[in-house]
Chain A
Amino acid sequence: EAGVAQSPRYKIIEKRQSVAFWCNPISGHATLYWYQQILGQGPKLLIQFQNNGVVDDSQLPKDRFSAERLKGVDSTLKIQPAKLEDSAVYLCASSPGTSGGYNEQFFGPGTRLTVL
């Protein structure tokens, strides 16, 4: 079974530029998550999708971050414009999303963003 795919793996941009990350979850997984992991911290949830609907985006800085999952499969996360403090690893995860109880989340390798 293929895992969660993310691209690019690394990205370096200047502040105020725009950047986009792509995620392809495990086939059949209904729930998709984007996390931000700043160096020395644990991952922090940015947004959760159930199929193509947003379940939780309470921690997404909506003035500069946006995400979409149009066909309920792959997803993109965009930052526009980027700030220095956005330097982090952006992790995508997916889970089966069945009802009731906890669903194990499977993580992709992440995209390391450096904002100069």
Chain B
Amino acid sequence: DQQVKQNSPSLSVQEGRISILNCDYTNSMFDYFLWYKKYPAEGPTFLISISSIKDKNEDGRFTVFLNKSAKHLSLHIVPSQPGDSAVYFCAASAGGGSQGNLIFGKGTKLSVKP
């Protein structure tokens, strides 16, 4: 039973264009959502997060949108750069303490072509 779903295993975009990575979740108790970026042979690194009380959070070229009614979030990267090529994981948390454990999706591999 996958609580966090990333239905696109891969995405390819041209440098300078927008990358949109999608994530769906099923557990209505999730109240914090994160995106992690992972390069080969490295651990995931935190990218951006959003609390369930917000519908948008922006950090430079990265924006995360949350649609609670649809249980859907998306990560927008504008403009995309070749260095953004990596696997992106969506993760969700249901509060602090032990409930703060992260539930990860399977990841989407982004390729940004020069």
Contact = CB atoms under 8 A, between A and B. Distances in A.
Interface of A: 4, 33, 40-45, 48, 55-56, 91, 93, 99-110
A79 to B, nearest CB: 19
A108 B93 contact: no
B83 to A, nearest CB: 19
Contact of A41 (B43, B101, B106): B106
Task: List the 4 closest pairs (A to B, CB-CB), nearest first.
Answer: A42-B104, A107-B43, A56-B98, A102-B32
Contacts of B46: 104-106
Interface in B48-65: 49
Given A45-B101, A56-B101, A107 B44 contact: yes
B92 to A, nearest CB: 10
A113 to B, nearest CB: 14
Contacts of A109: 41-43
B97 A55 contact: yes
Contacts of B49: 102, 104
A102 B106 CA distance: 21
Contacts of A102: 32, 49, 93, 95-96, 100
B45 A42 contact: no
A107 B96 contact: no
A48 B43 contact: no
Given A91-B44, A104-B46, A109-B43, A42 B4 contact: yes
Contact of B104 (A44, A104, A106): A44
A107 B43 CA distance: 5
B96 A100 contact: yes
Given A45-B101, A101-B96, A102-B93, A91 B107 contact: no
Interface string B72-95: 000000000000000001010101
Given A41-B106, A102-B93, A107-B36, 6 more contacts: A43-B89, A55-B97, A93-B43, A99-B96, A102-B100, A103-B100
B105 A42 contact: yes
B102 interface: yes
Given A42-B89, A42-B107, A102-B32, A48 B44 contact: no
